[in-house]
Amino acid sequence: MAAEAQSHSPLTHVVDNTTLELPWGNQYFEYHLPAIPLGPYSFQITRFMVMELIAAALIAAIVIPLARHVARHPITRGAFLNAFETLILFIRDGIARPAIGGHDADKFLPYLWTVFFFVLFNNLLGMIPGGASATGNINVTAVLAVMTFAAVLIAGIRHSGPVGYWIALVPQLDVPKIMKPPMWVLMFLIEIAGLFIRHIVLCVRLFANMLAGHIVLAVILGFILTVGGTMWYVVTPASLAGVVALSLLELFVAFLQAYIFTFLSALFIGSAAHPH
């Protein structure tokens, strides 16, 4: 049931919650999300979960009609469909095929397309009043990184086999024979650590960039709540101007971070599909 929020802090925009904040005029209304009973336990739906479902619904609502349109017409018509087709072709021709290779890239294109638009839409939902960026939560970015890690393992095992993939992690060692066994073990441990570190960084990079951007916006907007009297008329225009400028930057960052996550995912998959 919706109820009027008594107070609203801009920082609530960057944390997960069990409520949705719906703007109405100069007020916010809270909708308390339900908990789904599962035997003796319950599964609480949160704001970020709702944002992820909205992002998934938007992807389906856009990409499925686009795919059907492309199947029926050799030339895509309309600015909206052309814009999305341009993004899809860019991911294929500018990211996947150069990083993975033409034949192998097409096998992983569905994943790369999905992860790009999922990250992008979640980033953009945080720019809408009442919305939130689920990609500003490390749990969400960690799951995305685990999915990329799984794709990397699949690519490597397909190319070299379940044992050959792990052996292929170690490059050719031009050292004396007596030193090869200990050096091989050392290099194997370093490569395994590097494999995990790359995906941890992939997770943290997206999370940190999205969280930091929204915190900065919230803090600048929050300046308005901390002043009164005549200073309010000075701080408010400056804060609003700063928020507008940074919001435009955040729109760019939303696309940039979706591109970086997809590009690095393609690079990792390509390195597994084509080892040393």
Cα–Cα separations (whole angstroms), residue 142 to 15, 92, 182: 16, 24, 33
pTM: 0.87
Measured distance CA(139)–CA(132) in Å, rounded:
15
53 membership: H or E segment, kind and range: helix 47-72
Strand, helix or coil at 23?
strand
Q: What is the C-alpha separation between 141 and 201, in angstroms, rounded?
A: 10
Which of 275, 274, 255, 272 is CA-nearest to residue 91?
255
d(CA 224, CA 233): 9
First to last CA, the chain: 58
Cα(259)–Cα(98) distance, integer angstroms:
14
pLDDT of the residue at 171: 79
**How many residues in the chain?**
276
Predicted confidence at residue 4, as pLDDT, reads 42
DSSP character at residue 238:
H
Write down the pLDDT at residue 25. 62
Per the structure block, which two tokens stand in for 100?
Answer: 């993975």
Q: Which pLDDT score is estimated for 202?
A: 94
Q: Which residues of the chain fall short of a pLDDT of 50?
A: 1-7
Phi, psi of 3 (to 5 degrees): -145, 155
pLDDT tens digits, residue range 42-99? Answer: 888 999 999 999 999 999 999 998 888 888 887 877 788 888 999 999 999 999 999 9
Q: Name residue, tokens 């031009």.
A: 174
Q: What DSSP assignment string belongs to 168-212? A: HTSPP--S-GGGHHHHHHHHHHHHHHHHHHHHHHHHHHHHHHHHH
Edge to edge, what strands does the sheet with 27-32 contain?
A: 2-4, 27-32, 19-24
User: What type of residue sits at position 15?
Assistant: V
